Amino acid sequence: MADEQLNRGLEGVVLAETRLSSIDGEAGELTIGGFSVGELASNATYEESVFLLLHDRLPTADELASFREELAANRANTPEVTAVLERAAREERSAMDALRMGVAAANLGFEGGADTDALLKRVVAVFPTIVAAYWRFREGNDPLAPRDDLGHAANYLHMLTGEEPTDDAVRGLETYLNTVIDHGLNASTFAARVVVSTESDLVSAATAGVGTLKGPLHGGAPGPVLEMLMAVHESGDPEGYIQEKFDAGERLMGFGHRVYKVRDPRAEVLETAAKRFYAGNDESAFFETVESFEELAVEKLAEHKPGRRLDTNVEFYTAALLHGVGIPQDLFAATFAVSRVGGWMAHCKEQLADNRLIRPRARYVGETGRQWVPVGER
């Protein structure tokens, strides 16, 4: 036992085969369902991306229309879930706490029984409704019913704001949802697969995914990135901001990644989407700050930590794009979950197709040979 290799964080351990996504951290490449992330994210609707992950091919026009209808039919919250979300908002719980509570009850009133595919669609469909209802309560408004005539991304924006979303905002959000829908065996995806490997249900797996994504080491960085970008834009002193962070021994948010040794390919996709969105609008000057700050920050990081590659990661342009399309900062992590649930469900389906209980081992380093001492003699 003592000579067994210890892999903290399961670093480098391969425990599943997948057709869903492939990461080349050295080359900075991400493939989702056989497509480069840029090819998929800039062309697909979210519904097409989910269908691709579930079926290993893009849908026909008729299949896409049917899939959209099935998702739309599963969007509505039950009154019991709505009541929980109202209380969560009243108690000022975080959006991720509210989402966890709502998802855990997602199968209330569900009439699909043991039909895994039907429950899968329910789980994917209801995430945006839960988040939007919570936010409406937080803002002192009543939730809006989902609209069957809008696609997944457009409906989410409508339920948040009560307004008809612009085409530019929908395309920007759709690009984001497609870009982060799946990313290998990340922490939340692994958690979801562990749950279903016990032959538990998809709602439990999704709840575990939300709980894992809630942690700041996984899904919590885009909010602080936006705060950083806003501070730099308002001060007009990016170099001073960077030096202040270095002097305080703090990291620059939005740079460096556990897997990628070069620029995160998702940053490229989201930069392009953000540039398209901000072009000519009232906040174009803010986006100019974003791009110039990235260039300066990468240069200064290389000087500050020579020998380490701290390139731009997905969170940097996530913050800029989600802010632009109108997603409140407090909902950044929850919006990440709105996307990633499609990947979680596809991984769960893949796990169940050839299931083996996920059961790693731990190396015992505690005491041995202890003798029991009665409580009166301790």
DSSP secondary structure string for all residues of 48-69: HHHHHHHHSSPPPHHHHHHHHH
Q: Average pLDDT of 32-50?
A: 98
Of 152, 183, 257, 347, the active-site residue reads 257
> Domain segments of the chain: what residues?
19-358
Whole-angstrom Cα distance, residue 356 to residue 197? 6
Side chain identity at residue 286, one-letter code:
F
Using DSSP, state whether 314 is helix, strand or coil.
helix
Tell whether the model's pLDDT for residue 127 goes beyond 90: yes
Pairwise CA distance, residues 375 & 314, whole Å: 56
More confident residue, 94 or 8: 94
Within 10 A of 174 (CB to CB), how many other CB atoms are there?
Answer: 27
> How does pLDDT run across 341-370, given as a tens digit for each residue?
999 999 999 999 999 999 988 889 999 999
- Is residue 257 among the annotated active site residues? yes
Whether the pLDDT of residue 161 is over 80: the answer is yes
Mean pLDDT (the chain, rounded)? 94
pLDDT of residue 254: 92
Query: Is-catalytic flag, 183?
Result: no
Mean per-residue pLDDT, 264-291: 95
Contact of 188 with 212, CB cutoff 8 Å: yes
pLDDT at 353: 95
pLDDT reading at 1 higher than 60: no
CA distance 38 to 40: 6
Question: Token pair for residue 363?
Answer: 């190396």
Task: Flag whether pLDDT at 145 surpasses 80.
Answer: yes
Which of 86, 315, 347, 350 is flagged as catalytic? 315
Whether 231 and 211 have beta carbons less than 8 Å apart is answered as no
Q: Retrieve residue 347's tokens.
A: 């991984």
Answer for the pair 180, 339: CB distance below 8 angstroms, yes or no: yes
pLDDT at 5: 76
Locate 64 and state its tokens.
């896409």
Contact 103, 206 (CB under 8 A): yes
Q: Global pTM?
A: 0.94
Domain at 19-358: CATH architecture: Orthogonal Bundle (1.10)
Alpha-carbon span 297 to 291, nearest angstrom: 10
Among 352, 338, 16, residue whose Cα is nearest residue 184: 16
pLDDT mean over 297-309? 90
Please give the pLDDT value at position 280.
81
Q: Which residue has the tokens 């209808």?
A: 69
Split at pLDDT 50, 70, 90, the class of 3 is low
pLDDT exceeds 70 at position 234:
yes
**Residue 113 reports pLDDT greater than 80:** no
Cβ neighbour number for residue 66 with a 10 Å cutoff: 13
